[in-house]
A and B are shown apart, each in its own frame.
Chain A
Amino acid sequence: MNQSQFRGTFRPYVSPRDPCPPILEKTFVLPPQLFTNFQKPGLPQNSPEEALKQGSLWPQFVDGFYREEGIS
Chain B
Amino acid sequence: MNPQEEEWQLLKKVQQADFVVVELTLYTDTHPNDMEAIQQWREAIKEAAKVRRQYESRFGPLSLLSVPSTQAIEVGWHWNSTPWPWQR
Using a CB–CB cutoff of 8 Å, the interface residues on chain A facing chain B are 38-39, 41-42, 48-49, 51-52, 56-58
Contact = CB atoms under 8 A, between A and B. Distances in A.
Contact of B19 (A38, A39, A51, A58): A51
Interface residues of B, number: 14
B36 A51 contact: no
A48 B34 contact: no
B71 interface: no
B15 interface: yes
Contact of A48 (B17, B27, B30, B31): B17
Interface of B: 12, 15-17, 19-20, 23-24, 27, 30-31, 34, 36-37
A40 to B, nearest CB: 10
Nearest to B47: A48
B16 A52 contact: yes
Contacts of B19: 48, 51-52, 57
